[in-house]
């Protein structure tokens, strides 16, 4: 979700950011692969990691029967308009069937209730909101893109010190550094310090994340899933396995694969408690697997004269990394990393680019985000009383996604291939070990 090896003013980023404070929106479900064009459901994303996959995790609740439909019906109505019985009537089901799910959604803060009527408590984008959001986000994105392009040479000069530049070229490097690490990374931290947007929302069970929902249809998908604004990342032992791209499919990356596996097990048997207990064990195994993969990357990067040797467990993990296309092995068994690797020596160069860009666009972003209520009248999230800084977080994702699309089109960024079933994305590795 965010480049964690960046340093600020010569100091390490604070622990709360290292642990994922600035994580990008990441798809919470593999429902995207099963998308249909029927309205009446919400697709769900998260900003920051919502924690262990249990009954207090919004992913877990979202995977339950009727959850996407319930969220849509509440969001599509006025604030505190619908009761449980109204929702059941719209869904043609027994209200008793919805009771526990609504209770748990309220418990963790996905919805709120007054006089037995419900309202959503996070930013949901409905099709009827698109004219409001698209007009504003695309106009801002165009102006900011033009400003960045006018300073292209200065940016290229700053990026010239990144070590993997010769192997991958400016377009691929700037795609990761500017598109992902800065626009979808440090900009959130910097804009939060300026009071422009929020990045933290304490939740039930001592968790900290924000949710954003999108009405599940093709019109909304073109505005959300198909722009370059989503980073996935698994981290262990000082190594980040990252990918950045659109949300139009299920990428073959480590984070997405492991999340898909656990989410599919939520209702694998009728005994939900049994399923949950096994998922907890599996998540510990996933953590160990990631650690082994990180140790392999460190071995390969730190090997000086001779090729590293691998244990049987590491050889299994190597096959996993090869399937995910982070590495490849030749006939002799020599391991080659296939993606850009950004290490601690690159951190200063990336910090300099970040400082330059934030200074370049910061004042204009602050001006554009001032008094959002007057610029977005009738927005569903405002009707439901969602905090303006939380809305600003979601809006900035739309803007940065459109900036990235503009910079791909103008040739400053490399263009990721569109893979059927996976979408468009590039992978990278970040390490603090060598």
Q: Mean of the per-residue pLDDT values for the chain?
A: 88
371: Cα separation from own chain's centroid: 26
Q: Of the given ranges (144-148, 165-169, 300-304), which has the lowest mean pLDDT?
A: 300-304
For residue range 211-243, what is the model confidence (pLDDT) as tens digits?
A: 999 999 888 888 888 899 999 999 999 999 999
pLDDT > 80? residue 79: yes
334: Cα separation from own chain's centroid: 33
- Does some domain include residue 311? yes
More confident: 70 or 13: 70
- Does some domain include residue 1? no
Whole-angstrom CA distances from 328 to 56, 60, 130, 169, 416 are: 39, 35, 43, 20, 19
- Does some domain include residue 426? yes
- Cα gap 407→124, rounded to integer Å: 27
- Does some domain include residue 312? yes
- Cα gap 62→66, rounded to integer Å: 8
111-117's contacts with Cβ under 8 Å and 24+ in sequence apart are: 111/71, 111/74, 113/80, 114/80, 115/80, 116/83, 116/84, 117/80, 117/81, 117/82, 117/83
Q: In this predicted structure, what is the pLDDT of residue 333?
A: 75
Q: In this predicted structure, what is the pLDDT of residue 272?
A: 83
Q: In this predicted structure, what is the pLDDT of residue 304?
A: 60
Domain count, the chain: 1
- Does some domain include residue 322? yes
pLDDT > 90? residue 18: no
- Does some domain include residue 234? yes
Q: Give the range of the structural domain holding residue 156, as residue numbers without chain letter.
A: 7-431
- Does some domain include residue 274? yes
More confident: 11 or 162: 162
| Surface-to-core class of residue 375, CB atoms within 10 Å of its CB (0-12 exposed, 13-18 middle, 19+ buried) | middle
Task: For residue 25, give the H/E element and its range.
Answer: strand 25-27
Q: Average pLDDT, stretch 283-303? A: 94
Confidence of residue 26 (pLDDT cuts 50, 70, 90): very low
Rounded to two decimals, what is the model's pTM?
0.85
52: Cα separation from own chain's centroid: 17
- Cα gap 359→256, rounded to integer Å: 33
Burial 82-112 (b: 16+ CB within 10 A, else e): bbbebbbebbeeeeeebeebbebbeebbbbb
- Cα gap 377→153, rounded to integer Å: 39
- Cα gap 95→28, rounded to integer Å: 26
- Cα gap 391→398, rounded to integer Å: 11
- Does some domain include residue 364? yes
Tokens of 162: 């990144």
For residue range 358-402, what is the model confidence (pLDDT) as tens digits?
A: 999 999 999 999 988 899 999 999 999 999 999 999 999 999 999
- Please give the span between the terminal C-alpha atoms of the chain, in angstroms, as a whole number: 21
More confident: 290 or 224: 290
Confidence of residue 305 (pLDDT cuts 50, 70, 90): low
pLDDT > 60? residue 8: no
Q: Average pLDDT, stretch 79-93? A: 96
pLDDT > 70? residue 274: yes
Q: In this predicted structure, what is the pLDDT of residue 23?
A: 39
In this structure, the strands spanning 341-342 and 423-431 are parallel
Give the residue among 240, 110, 130 at the shortest CA–CA distance from 185: 240
């Amino acid at each position: 979700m965010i480049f964690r090896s960046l340093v600020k003013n010569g100091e390490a980023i604070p622990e709360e950011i290292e642990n994922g404070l600035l994580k990008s929106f990441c798809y919470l479900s593999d429902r995207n692969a099963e998308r249909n064009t029927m309205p009446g459901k919400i697709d769900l994303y998260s900003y920051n990691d919502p924690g262990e996959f249990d009954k207090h995790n919004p992913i877990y609740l979202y995977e339950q029967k009727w959850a996407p439909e319930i969220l849509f019906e509440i969001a599509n109505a006025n604030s505190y308009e619908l009761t449980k019985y109204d929702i059941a009537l719209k869904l043609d089901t027994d209200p008793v069937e919805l009771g526990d799910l609504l209770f748990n959604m309220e418990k963790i803060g996905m919805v709120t209730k007054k006089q037995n009527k419900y309202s959503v408590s996070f930013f949901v984008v409905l099709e009827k909101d698109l004219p409001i959001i698209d007009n504003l986000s695309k106009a801002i994105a165009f102006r900011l893109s033009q400003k960045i392009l006018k300073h292209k040479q200065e940016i290229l000069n700053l990026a010239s010190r990144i070590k993997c530049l010769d192997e991958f070229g400016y377009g691929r490097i700037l795609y990761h550094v500017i598109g992902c690490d800065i626009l979808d990374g440090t900009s959130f931290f910097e804009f939060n310090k300026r009071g422009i947007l929020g990045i933290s929302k304490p939740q039930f069970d001592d968790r900290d994340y924000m949710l954003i929902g999108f009405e599940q249809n093709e019109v909304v998908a073109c505005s959300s899933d198909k722009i370059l604004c989503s980073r996935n990342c698994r981290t262990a032992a000082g190594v980040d396995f990252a990918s950045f791209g659109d949300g139009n499919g299920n990428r073959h990356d480590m984070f997405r694969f492991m999340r898909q596996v656990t989410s599919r097990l939520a209702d694998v048997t009728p005994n939900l408690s049994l399923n949950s207990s096994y998922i907890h064990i599996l998540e510990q195994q996933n953590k160990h697997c990631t650690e082994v993969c990180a140790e392999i990357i460190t071995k390969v990067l730190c090997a000086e004269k001779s090729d590293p040797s691998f244990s049987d467990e590491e050889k299994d993990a190597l096959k996993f990394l090869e399937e995910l296309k982070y590495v490849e092995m030749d006939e002799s068994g020599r391991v080659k990393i296939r993606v850009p690797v950004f290490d601690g020596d690159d951190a200063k160069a990336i910090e300099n680019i970040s400082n330059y860009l934030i200074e370049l666009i910061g004042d204009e972003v602050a001006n554009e985000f001032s008094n959002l209520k007057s610029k977005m009248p009738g927005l569903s999230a405002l009707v439901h009383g969602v905090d303006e800084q939380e809305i600003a977080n979601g809006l900035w994702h739309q803007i940065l996604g459109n900036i990235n699309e503009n910079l791909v089109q103008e040739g400053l960024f490399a263009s990721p291939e569109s893979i059927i079933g996976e979408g468009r994305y590039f992978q990278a590795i970040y390490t603090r070990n060598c």
